[in-house]
């Protein structure tokens, strides 16, 4: 047959066939061990396919193989598989040791938990994060609005990061916050992206209860007054802040759109808030608009020139304060269920808040999404201006629940096939908010939140460093181990 034409003897060709099946065992073993989180039973799982392959081959009458030879071939298969198993264990030890030493969990176990969370929304990975996380104190900005004696809307700015992905940790905080506020008060909650990076990813979704406890206590004691204020856009070089002042409380989103607008470090947000207080604001809620995804992932940390631009933009808002007048507010909400995660939209959908002051109307258009493409932002803003909005800004929550489908970069507006309909729905939502305009009362506060368990600065850096070192070693060692295991398996089979 083929082996003869290639100049390979019959026995050697069988050895290569058995070697291929031993590699099949290795593949299935690794799959069962990591994907299905099986331990010892993964060996039986891995042996099933190669054993059946060889048995079907031996059952072929044209092979004319005796029982003794059949046993010999199966023995060779199992010895070859055992050698590959040893190589896999050696590789596992190599990649697991650094993670086990630094974080108390092996890399293979972490990978298994990651996949279980991804496919089954398993909470077990949160337990691992809880072991390595650290407690921090952070802040929750609250700006609440009442109409006709009832709570109408609440702007929330929690200074934690809505990650890391799927339903893990804080990824669904925006929709969980909003649902709880709606359930307990009947009001719509607009959950914005505070100043926080991935270091401030909550280790578990239960951490939201620490925010809920403070929020609802604060809402009970807030003293509401007729809403008065103004709207202004502060600018500094490439940065700007489309801000609204409500009863002395400055609500100031930060953006560089259409340039990359990514996470802002907590310390930067604190510095800008203190600067705003020094410039005359009674309180300041500083947030990241997170509204321009260009493919470049760049966060703004202390010392970054962009941080100073943001600060100057907020200062420019206060230096060019508008004339204070009665403030009207209208809101609307569209879940956008037809679009979903593939369009980069989380369960919170779209929320719109339109304000009217000094006979001018301005709108905040908030998507439960992880960023927006600059061209989509521009198209929405252009369309909204045509229905009587004088100024507006697109914002996103930076929910990482959408990363489950599109990976790290999955901005709203990134898929052209549904963009036109999405813009139409957005304009419709803004129109509904305009129709809802009415006089409101307002109150706000910046609440301290203690003991929030997050992944932490040191852990994030250490994790990245550990994984990078593992990858660097594995890139060299893994091919060498595969070649050595292959040679050893062929040598052993030739001598059995």
Q: How far is CA 97 from CA 89, 93, 423, in A?
A: 12, 6, 51
According to DSSP, the residues that pair with 326 across neighbouring strands are 228
Dihedral angle over CA of 382, 386, 388, 394, nearest 10: -20
pLDDT band at 9 (very low <50, low <70, confident <90, very high): low
279, pLDDT greater than 60: yes
Q: What is the CA radius of gyration of the chain?
A: 29
Q: What is the distance between the terminal CA atoms of the chain, rounded to a whole angstrom? A: 24
According to DSSP, the residues that pair with 226 across neighbouring strands are 441
CA triple 450-451-457, angle to 5 deg: 110
Per-residue model confidence (pLDDT) at position 57? 75
Which has the minimum average pLDDT: 67-71, 164-168, 343-347, 409-413?
Answer: 67-71
pLDDT band at 117 (very low <50, low <70, confident <90, very high): low
Q: Which helix (H) or strand (E) holds 377?
A: helix 374-385
Render 327-339 in DSSP notation, one character per residue.
-EEEEEEE--TTT
Under 8 Å between Cβ of 253 and 287 = yes
The whole-angstrom separation of Cα 142 and Cα 443 is 8
Under 8 Å between Cβ of 263 and 296 = no
More confident residue, 193 or 468: 193
pTM exceeds cut of 0.95: no
User: Is the bond leading into 290 cis (omega within 30 degrees of zero)?
Assistant: no
**What tokens does 260 get?**
């990359």
Q: In this structure, what are the phi and psi dihedrals at residue 165, rounded to the nearest 5 degrees?
A: -170, 165
Render 163-214 in DSSP notation, one character per residue.
-SSTTSTTTTHHHHHHHHHHHHHS-EEEE-B-S--GGG-BSSGGGHHHHHHH
User: Within 10 Å of residue 244's Cβ, how many Cβ atoms?
Assistant: 25
* Mean pLDDT within 204-223: 96
Under 8 Å between Cβ of 380 and 394 = yes
**Eight-class DSSP state of 391:** E
In the chain, what percentage of residues exceed pLDDT 90?
A: 62
The whole-angstrom separation of Cα 412 and Cα 250 is 27
Nearest to residue 252, comparing CAs of 300, 286, 281? 286
**What tokens does 26 get?**
């290795």
pLDDT band at 414 (very low <50, low <70, confident <90, very high): confident
Largest CA distance in the chain: 99
61, pLDDT greater than 60: no
By 3-state DSSP, what share of the chain in percent is helix, strand and coil, each rounded to 5?
A: 50, 25, 25
The whole-angstrom separation of Cα 368 and Cα 412 is 9
Q: How far is CA 11 from CA 56, 70, 71, 74, 437, in A?
A: 18, 13, 15, 14, 85
* Mean pLDDT within 49-69: 71
Under 8 Å between Cβ of 111 and 96 = no
* Mean pLDDT within 462-476: 78
**What tokens does 347 get?**
């369960």
Helices (DSSP H) in 412-456: which residue ranges?
A: 419-435
Per-residue model confidence (pLDDT) at position 108? 81
The whole-angstrom separation of Cα 300 and Cα 446 is 22
Under 8 Å between Cβ of 363 and 353 = yes
**What tokens does 430 get?**
């803004």
The whole-angstrom separation of Cα 239 and Cα 313 is 7
């Amino acid at each position: 047959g083929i082996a003869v034409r290639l100049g390979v003897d019959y026995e050697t060709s069988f050895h290569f066939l058995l070697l291929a099946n031993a590699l099949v065992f290795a593949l299935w073993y690794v799959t069962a061990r990591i994907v299905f989180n099986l331990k010892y039973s993964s060996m039986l799982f891995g042996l099933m396919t190669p054993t059946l392959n060889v048995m079907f081959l031996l059952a072929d009458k044209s092979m004319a193989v005796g029982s003794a030879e059949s046993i010999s071939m199966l023995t060779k298969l199992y010895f070859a598989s055992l050698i590959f198993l040893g190589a896999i264990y050696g590789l596992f030890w190599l990649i697991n040791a650094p993670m086990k030493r630094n974080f108390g969990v092996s890399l293979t176990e972490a990978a298994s938990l990651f996949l279980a969370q991804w496919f089954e929304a398993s909470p077990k990975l949160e337990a691992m994060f809880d072991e390595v996380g650290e407690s921090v104190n952070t802040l929750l900005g609250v700006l609440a609005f009442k109409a006709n004696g009832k709570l109408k809307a609440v702007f929330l700015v929690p200074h934690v990061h809505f990650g890391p992905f799927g339903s893990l940790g804080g990824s669904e905080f925006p929709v969980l916050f909003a649902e709880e506020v709606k359930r307990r008060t009947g009001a719509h909650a607009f959950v914005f992206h505070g100043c926080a990076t991935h270091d401030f990813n909550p280790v578990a979704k239960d951490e939201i209860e620490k925010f809920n406890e403070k929020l609802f206590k604060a809402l009970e004691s807030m003293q509401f007054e007729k809403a008065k204020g103004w709207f202004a856009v502060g600018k500094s070089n490439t940065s700007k802040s489309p801000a609204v002042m409500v009863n002395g409380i400055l609500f100031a989103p930060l953006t560089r759109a259409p340039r990359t607008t990514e996470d802002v470090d907590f310390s930067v947000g604190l510095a800008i808030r203190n600067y705003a207080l020094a410039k005359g604001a009674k309180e300041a809620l500083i947030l990241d608009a997170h509204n321009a995804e260009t493919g470049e992932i760049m966060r703004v940390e202390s010392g970054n020139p962009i941080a100073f631009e943001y600060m100057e933009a907020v200062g420019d808002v206060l230096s060019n304060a508008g004339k204070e007048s009665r403030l009207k507010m209208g809101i609307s909400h569209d879940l956008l269920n037809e679009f979903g995660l593939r369009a980069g939209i989380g369960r919170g959908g779209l929320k719109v808040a339109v304000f009217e002051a000094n006979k001018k109307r301005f709108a905040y258009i908030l998507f439960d999404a992880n960023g927006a493409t600059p061209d989509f932002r521009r198209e929405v803003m252009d369309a909204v201006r045509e229905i009587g909005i004088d100024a507006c800004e697109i914002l996103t929550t930076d929910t990482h629940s959408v990363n489950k489908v599109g990976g790290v970069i999955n901005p709203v507006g990134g898929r052209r096939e549904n963009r036109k309909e999405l813009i139409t729905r957005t304009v419709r939502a803004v129109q509904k908010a305009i129709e809802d305009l009415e006089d409101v009362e307002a109150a706000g506060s910046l609440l301290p939140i203690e003991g929030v368990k997050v992944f932490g600065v040191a852990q994030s850096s250490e994790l990245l460093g550990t994984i990078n070192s593992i990858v660097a070693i594995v890139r060299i060692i893994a091919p060498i181990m595969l070649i050595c295991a292959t040679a050893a398996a062929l040598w052993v089979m030739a001598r059995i």
